[in-house]
Amino acid sequence: MKKLICMLAMAGMFSVSAVQSQTVTRVVEVAEVPVSKYSVETNSFWDNWFISLNGGAQFSYLYPEGPQTFKDRITFSGMVSAGKWFTPGMGLRLALNGYKFQGYDEKNDYANLHIDALMNVTNMIMGYNPDRVYNLIPYIGFGGVRNFDHNSYVFGLNAGLLHSFRLSDSWGLNIEMSALMADKNMDDVIGAKRGFDNLFSLMVGVTYNIGGNTWNNTPDVASLLTMSAADVAALNEALAYEQSVNRDLRNQLAKKPKEVVREKIVASPDAVPQSVFFQLNSAVLPSQKDLVNLKAFADAVKKDNIKLRITGYADSATGDAKYNQTLSLRRAQTIADALVKMGVNKANLVIEGKGGVSTLTPDSYNRRVIIQEM
């Protein structure tokens, strides 16, 4: 994928030689590559592993009718865990927590070994951001509970909320609220009038990230191809100028036609989905280069009477929703009007505005119109 980005970013680098070393060279540099907000590249198996160490308080709710006071039911709880994030939103961990819990009439030593499925809902909803300070991570899991005092084993279900705070690239702070629901005989007291034994915990701890702990966002290939097509259109302008220079030289060297090199070089974009980018708070085409690119696109689709969908967008980081909806539709209309002037059948155009979006970063790449075949 990185090789693809480099190839697309350098697609505007050409050198054309004319008569008597007349040369035009155009170099295009892409300072920021548009990337998808919700899509990342697959990482190595050894990346995004982590280990955590937590400690805090635990409250047992085994006997509503029991003799314990509220204070008696609170004990210390600790946990160590290790796991891996497979995507920015999904991960697994193996955790071991325990120490003591309050039974019917005594404290019991126990351990709970469980595997949990982690869901980073912040990354799922807001998109992956390696520098985000806070992430909300609910989880659910299952495992076994061992009571060491009574030498018994029961099945347990685990669930909780993990509040993760980024301290650095490698370290994080955790605040975890969890619940364990186990068989009612977890404390080996038979005949208790209850459905399950329940333990609730509040713990604080740290997480250390092992190996590479970030993902690379997936480049928005459609936008990169559009940039490349726009650069080719600009190159055509430069080549047209060179060809006019060549014609002048041929006229000057008419008496020596054998020394004249006759060549015709044309670069034109294919009729692929196109993006046109706009300035902040504007529905006006930003440059003459965009018109040249649209002209090449219009010529390509007119032949086959292709129907096009023209979709306008604004960036949700600026302006309210109502204004962005109007702005996105104005941008789409600007492109449609330009294509009609270039000979595209108006009946073949469907125009729509999607309002403010945040699907690409940086925000400037969301201020665009996408033209695609229906």
In Å, how far are 48, 163, 176, 297 from 170, measured between CA atoms?
A: 10, 16, 19, 48
- Is the previous residue joined to 88 through a cis bond, with omega within 30 degrees of 0? no
Mean pLDDT within 109-124 = 95
pLDDT band of 273, cuts 50, 70, 90: confident
3-state helix, strand, coil in the chain (%, to 5): 25, 40, 35
The closest of 182, 190, 194 to 65, measured between CA atoms, is 194
Mean pLDDT within 75-101 = 94
Structure tokens at 236: 């055509």
Answer for the pair 286, 293: CB distance below 8 angstroms, yes or no.
Answer: no
Tell me the residue length of the chain: 374
pLDDT band of 267, cuts 50, 70, 90: very low
**For residue 150, pLDDT beyond 70:** yes
pLDDT in tens, 313-324: 999 988 899 999
**For residue 31, pLDDT beyond 70:** no
Structure tokens at 318: 């600026």
| pLDDT recorded at residue 187 | 75
Structure tokens at 85: 């994030």
DSSP codes, 267-312: ----S--EEEE--TT--S---HHHHHHHHHHHHHHHTTT--EEEEE
Mean pLDDT within 309-333 = 92
DSSP character at residue 262: P
Rg of the chain, C-alpha, whole Å? 32
DSSP codes, 348-361: GEEEEEEEEE-SEE
C-alpha 17/C-alpha 345 separation (Å) is: 39
C-alpha 108/C-alpha 190 separation (Å) is: 15
DSSP codes, 61-104: ES-TTSS--TTTTEEEEEEEEEEEESSSSEEEEEEEEEEEEE-S
pTM above 0.75, yes or no: no
pLDDT band of 249, cuts 50, 70, 90: confident
pLDDT in tens, 186-221: 776 655 555 678 899 999 999 999 977 777 777 776
